[in-house]
Amino acid sequence: MEEFVGFMNSKRVAEQHPVVRALLAHFFLVTIHPFGDGNGRVSRLLEAGILHQGNYNVHGFYGLSNYFYRNERQYKTLLQECRAIQPFDVSPFISFGIEGFSSELKGINNFIKAKLNRVVYRAMLVRAFNTRVGTRRKRINQREYSLLDFLLAETEPADPFSDNPSRRISVTELMASNTVKWQYRNLTPRTLNRELIRLSNLGFIHFNRDESKKEWYVELDFDAIGKY
């Protein structure tokens, strides 16, 4: 342990990137295995502390421990492989950890973009509803506004950290929803179809067809933010 502390405080290690230092500390502490229990937890704690010192907010959304938990088998395999030959070659473990931290940061970026897009899209809807394009017509009418507002809520992605900023919804599911049925209760299905097509032509939404399911799907078009 004295050698470990000296190594971690050495100039050579101090000059490394915080993520590399954190991974080195994790690897060597869990390899030394100084405690009867809790070595993995202490290694992750030390790792998080070094990242925090490097100005990474690991108390928030991201951290290497999340990645290790999701990829536990590969994590344990790499630990064993890196220990197989002495002196240790920690490069595969470091590369694995860096790749994981990169994916965590990418997930946070996706989360922020998805949330921001929805906030701005909602503000854009209000502007479109309040903008008159004629003496008796607004950019979108009350039903269209309510329909887009419903889609904004229903297409929230199940995984907010995924690359996909929006969930698609089938036209069948849309027309069967109680909210849409209520909004168009005194109107024919033709009116709903006409307004969906109009919203697509205006660029608020777009359609795509899943040939395997023979079904049309609706998605929000966030490019509308720049138009309106």
Q: pLDDT, tens digit, for every residue of 153-180?
A: 999 888 877 788 788 999 999 999 999 9
pLDDT value at 60 more than 60: no
pLDDT value at 62 more than 70: no
State the Cα–Cα distance between residues 17 and 73, nearest whole angstrom: 26
User: What's the length of the chain?
Assistant: 228
Q: 36: Cβ–Cβ under 8 A, 6 or more apart, which residues?
A: none
**Residue 41 counted as domain residue:** yes
Choosing from 106, 122, 148, the residue where a domain stops is 106
CATH classification at residue 54: 1.10.3290.10
Q: What is the phi/psi pair of residue 211, to 5°?
A: -65, -35
**Residue 66 counted as domain residue:** yes
101 and 136 co-located in one domain: no
* 117-158 tens-digit pLDDT: 999 999 999 999 999 998 889 999 999 999 999 999 999 888
Q: In which domain, by residue range, is 212 found?
A: 131-227
Q: What total of structural domains would you count in the chain?
A: 2
**Residue 122 counted as domain residue:** no
13 and 98 co-located in one domain: yes
User: Which residues sit opposite 170 in a β-bridge?
Assistant: 217
**Mean per-residue pLDDT, 186-211:** 94
State the Cα–Cα distance between residues 49 and 59, nearest whole angstrom: 10
- Say whether 165 sits in a helix, a strand or coil: coil
* 30-39 tens-digit pLDDT: 999 999 999 9
pLDDT band at 55 (very low <50, low <70, confident <90, very high): confident
CATH classification at residue 199: 1.10.10
82 and 146 co-located in one domain: no
Listing DSSP states for 127-153 in one string gives HHHH-BSSSS-BSS-HHHHHHHHHHHH
Q: 150: Cβ–Cβ under 8 A, 6 or more apart, which residues?
A: 177, 179, 180, 183
pLDDT value at 63 more than 80: no
pLDDT value at 58 more than 80: no
On whether the CB atoms of residues 196 and 132 are closer than 8 A, the answer is no
